[in-house]
Amino acid sequence: MANMNLYSRGDKGFVIANMILVGLFALSTLYPFIYIASLSLSSGFAAQAGTVVLTPVDMTFAAYGKVLSEPQFWISYRNTFIYTIGGTVMSLIIIIPGAYALSRPQLYGRRFWNLMVAFTMWFNAGLIPFFLNMRDLHLLDSYFGIIIAFTCNAFNIILLRNFFESIPASFEEAARMDGANDFQVLRKVYIPLSKPAIATVTLFCIVARWNGFFWAMVLLQDEQKIPLQVYLRHVITELSDDEQFAATLIDAPYSVDTVTAAIVVCSIIPVLLIYPFVQKYFNKGILLGGVKE
């Protein structure tokens, strides 16, 4: 449709105005990121005075120096990697076989099992019973608890299941002829054919894990175990009231705002690094195939 001959001459103004509007929207989306990046590179004094608007003022890396010298920053960064990698691997190990089984026509009670998974999209017990369950399972304050408790979700399973279902049975027939069992059919036929869907689910898991904060905040008390997002929240909400920290600020080249901004930047960078890979899969319709129909 973006075909030039579908446009008449009188449309030129419309097209240009539209391009400008779209560009403005994109710039306003981008602006907060630019602001935070500039703030993180400005001096504490300039930040306090509110002179940072677009570009860094009195450029300095002092805030990054402060952040990177905090042991807690590295501890929580490491933990985020543990939760992201551990959680994503665990998800794939459980979800891929599960989705495959749910897609099999010969599965006994298939409708029931599928409904059991889908029902959790429409009804869930809520925060308190989930929390009490975790406590009763002795999974509070535990790495394993965080990794296992958010492994599956109905959306990802259904997305994968639908993809498996869309693969024509003829693909597995040859393998079946050679006497392949279900384990082998899954590994040698379905997984290789489903790379885009598996990649999508993997990226969803990685992003969800990297960004996950609420349950980590509720379930983890031990500072040795908290992920980056929880540490970031501590910094944002508590640093400004922390007198000990305030004392270090006198004559310091950074301020609460620049330090916060620097941590924000450090935590966004990995997302930016995997973002091109995530984006590759947006427009392929896999996203939509998940829940619809």
Partner 1 sequence: MADHTNRMTRIVDHLRANWQIYVLLAPTIIWFLVFLYRPMYGLQIAFKDYSVFRGIEGSPWIGFEHFHTLFGSDQFIRALKNTVIISMLTLVFGFPMPIILALMFNEVLNQTYKKTVQTVVYLPHFISTVIISGIVITAFSPSSGVVNTVLDWLGFDKIYFLTKPEWFRPIFIGSGIWQEAGFSSIVFLAAIAGVNPSLYESAVVDGASRWQMMWKITIPSIMPTIIIMLIIRIGNLLEVGFELIILLYQPATYQTADVVNTYIYRQGLQVGQYDLAAAAGLFNAVVAFVLVMTANTISKRYSRTSLW
d(CA 255, CA 62): 9
Query: Could you tell me the smallest distance in angstroms from the CB atom of residue 41 to partner 1?
Result: 14
Cβ contact 241:19 at 8 Å: no
d(CA 212, CA 165): 30
Query: Could you tell me the smallest distance in angstroms from the CB atom of residue 212 to partner 1?
Result: 8
Side chain identity, residue 157: I
- Cβ distance to partner 1 smaller for residue 124 or 166: 124
Query: Could you tell me the smallest distance in angstroms from the CB atom of residue 71 to partner 1?
Result: 20
Quickly list H helices, 44-194: 44-49, 62-68, 71-103, 110-122, 127-136, 143-149, 154-165, 170-177, 182-185, 191-193
Query: Could you tell me the smallest distance in angstroms from the CB atom of residue 293 to partner 1?
Result: 5
d(CA 144, CA 141): 9
Query: Could you tell me the smallest distance in angstroms from the CB atom of residue 97 to partner 1?
Result: 4
d(CA 128, CA 74): 31
Query: Could you tell me the smallest distance in angstroms from the CB atom of residue 247 to partner 1?
Result: 19
Contacts (Cβ under 8 Å, ≥6 apart) of 8: none
- Cβ distance to partner 1 smaller for residue 75 or 236: 236
> Quick one: 109 exposed, middle or buried, by C-beta within 10 A (0-12, 13-18, 19+)?
exposed
Query: Could you tell me the smallest distance in angstroms from the CB atom of residue 193 to partner 1?
Result: 17
Cβ contact 281:197 at 8 Å: no
- Cβ distance to partner 1 smaller for residue 158 or 189: 158
Query: Could you tell me the smallest distance in angstroms from the CB atom of residue 168 to partner 1?
Result: 19
- Cβ distance to partner 1 smaller for residue 68 or 152: 152
- Cβ distance to partner 1 smaller for residue 20 or 85: 20
- Cβ distance to partner 1 smaller for residue 98 or 253: 98
- Cβ distance to partner 1 smaller for residue 61 or 183: 183
Side chain identity, residue 266: C
Long-range contacts of 277-281 (CB under 8 A, 24+ apart): 277/199, 277/203, 278/203, 278/207, 281/196, 281/199, 281/200, 281/203
- Cβ distance to partner 1 smaller for residue 78 or 284: 284
Query: Does the CA dihedral 200-205-208-209 come out positive or negative?
Result: negative
